[in-house]
Structure 1
Amino acid sequence: MTYPQAAPGQYGSPYPLTPDQPVVTPRRPGALTVLLLTGALSALAGLIGAVIVLVGGKSLAETNVEDVINEHPDVLGLPAGMNAGNIEGGGGMFWDELVSDRADTLAARAMIVVFFAVLLLVFTLLARKGAVWARVLITLTSLVALFPHVLIVGDYEPASVTALSYVALLCGLAALVCCWLPGTHRYGRALKNAR
C-alpha cells in the first residue's frame, strides 16, 4: 500500500532523489535570525552590565549604598530621617562594612552573569544552522541565566546595570521563544536532511 504524500519525488521535494538533481538549501527563517540576534544581544547586555559593575568596584558600590540609604533607609532598618552622610561621618567601620558587603554582592552577581552570558553567546553562535542540541542548550542556559537578572532587576542596583539587565532578560526570553518556533525546527531538519 502506498500513500501519495510518502512517495519520493512527488510534489517538488527539495532533497535530491537522484544524483543529477541539485540540492536546494532552504532560506534561513526569520525566527532563527531573531533567535541569533536576541541571544547575542542578551549575552552582550549581560556582559556590558557585568563589566560596568566590575570596573566600578568599590566606588560604584559606595554610590549605590548612598543612593539606597538616601532614598530607602527602611530597607536597611534605619530610621526615616537618616541619610548616607550621617552614617558615613558617624561610624567609619559600619560604613566600610556596608560598602564592602555591597561590592561583594555586586561582584558575585556580575561574575554569575558573565559565566552564563558567555555560555549563551557560544550556544547562540552554534545555533546558526538550527540544530536541536544547540537550541536545547540555549533554552537551558537562558532559563538559568534569567535568575541573576531577576535578582538584579528586583534589587536596588545602579540604574545602568538595571537597564542592561532588563534588556538581557527580555532578549533572553525572546530567544527562548524563538528556539522552538516551527520555522526554526523545519530549517534545522531541512539542513540535516540535505547533508
Structure 2
Amino acid sequence: MSAISAGPSTSTAVRRPGLLTAALGIVVVTALAAIANGVMIATGGKELIKELLENAGLGQLSDADLDLASQLAGYDSLDGFVSAFTTRGYLVAGAGVALLLFGLCMTKAATWARIMVTLSSVGVMVFSMVVLADETNGTMAGLSLLAIVGGILAIIFTWLPANGRYAKAVR
C-alpha cells in the first residue's frame, strides 16, 4: 500500500475570516476602555468625587462640604459615597476583564466563547451606562461611550455568518 492518496486532498487550511479578526479587535479595544475607566473610577476616591462636584459648579469644597453633599445625594456619609463610586469602578473593570478574557478565547469562533462575549459585552454596556448617567468627567464619559458603542459592535461582529461558518470548518 502506498501512503500517497490517489484522490484529491480534502484537508486544506481554513483561513480566519477578516470579520472575526475585526470582532477580536473591537472586543479588545472595548475591554481595554472599560478596564481603564473602571480603574480610574475605583482608584479616584475622595479626590475624584471632589473634582467632579467642583466641576459641577459647587466651587471649592472642604471635607465638611463634601460630607454634606454626600448626604444631599442620599448617602449616609462621604465614605458611603466613595464606596458606591468605587463599586461602580470595580463593576466596569470586572466586566471589561471578562470581555477581554472571553474575547481572547474567541479566536476559533467557538459558540460558547461567542455567547460569553455577548454576555460580557452587555455587562460592559450596562455598567458603562451607569457610569455615564452619574457624575462623570470628560474622560470617564468618553471611555463609557467608547465601551457602549464598542459593546454594540462587538455583539454584531461576533454573530456575523462568516464567523459561524469558520467555527464549523475548524471543528
TM bucket (normalised to shorter chain) is: 0.7 to 0.9
The residue that corresponds to 1:181 in the other structure is 160
- Structure 1 runs, 4 residues or longer, greater than 3 Å off: 17-20, 87-93, 95-102
Q: 1: distance between equivalents of 2:149 and 2:36?
A: 15
Secondary structure of 1:49's match?
Answer: helix
Shift, 1:139, TM fit: 0.9
Letter in 2 for 1:189: K
1:147 matched to 2:126? The reply is: yes
Question: Cα RMSD between the aligned structures?
Answer: 2.5
Secondary structure of 1:25's match?
Answer: coil
2:107 paired residue among 128, 137, 147: 128
Structure 1 portions without partners, runs of 5+: 1-16, 71-82
The residue that corresponds to 1:41 in the other structure is 29
The residue that corresponds to 1:94 in the other structure is 68
Question: Are the equivalent residues in 1 in contact too, given 2:35–2:92 (CA < 8 A)?
Answer: yes
Structure 2 portions without partners, runs of 5+: none
User: Structure 1's 145 and 182: CA in aligned 2 closer, same or farther, altered over 3 A?
Assistant: same
Q: 2: distance between equivalents of 1:89 and 1:107?
A: 18
Q: 2: distance between equivalents of 1:190 and 1:175?
A: 22
For normalisation by structure 2, the TM-score amounts to 0.83
User: Structure 1's 187 and 169: CA in aligned 2 closer, same or farther, altered over 3 A?
Assistant: same
Shift, 1:113, TM fit: 0.9
Larger Rg: 1
Question: Are the equivalent residues in 2 in contact too, given 1:123–1:134 (CA < 8 A)?
Answer: yes
Residues 30-78 of structure 1: per-residue CA shift (max 9 Å, x gap)? 211111011111111111111212232211111112222x1xxxxxxxx
Q: 2: distance between equivalents of 1:163 and 1:30?
A: 28
For normalisation by structure 1, the TM-score amounts to 0.73
The residue that corresponds to 2:139 in the other structure is 160
Task: Give the paired residue count.
Answer: 162
Map 1:64-103; keep pairs closer than 5 Å: 64-68=52-56, 70=57, 83-85=58-60, 88=62, 91=65, 93-95=67-69, 99-103=78-82
